[in-house]
Structure 1
Amino acid sequence: MAYSARRTNSNIVMLALGWGTFIGAGIVAMYFLGHALYLNERGRAVHSLDGEQLPEPSAPEASN
């Protein structure tokens, strides 16, 4: 049987904080990655219009 330390309250708290930090860092990384990809996509679209400006995206509620 593998070694297993007795789970005390402090171990459980540290485990929860560790997972929370890991998940939080993943969410922040996805935000920055998505933001970079979105700006890159808009940049390519602007260059394909030969100098014309892309219209600003409107909110879905405004199109009704």
Structure 2
Amino acid sequence: MSLKIAIIGGGAAGFFAAITAKETHPDASVIIYEKSAQLLAKVKISGGGRCNVTNACAS
């Protein structure tokens, strides 16, 4: 039986969840469900498309 993972929300958190799910379970089927017509719409308008990442996120 193959693993199927559904992500609700096509924003930044949804995309990171999908990436993490695929890294953790490479053979799984991962799908993202988004209600709006465009994925990552808020990321595209925030911080000039850079998603407002701050130095607190740097390692």
TM-score by structure 1 length?
A: 0.24
With CA pairs under 8 Å and 6+ residues apart, which has the higher RCO, 1 or 2? 2
Return the index of the structure with the highest Cα Rg: 1
TM-score by structure 2 length?
A: 0.25
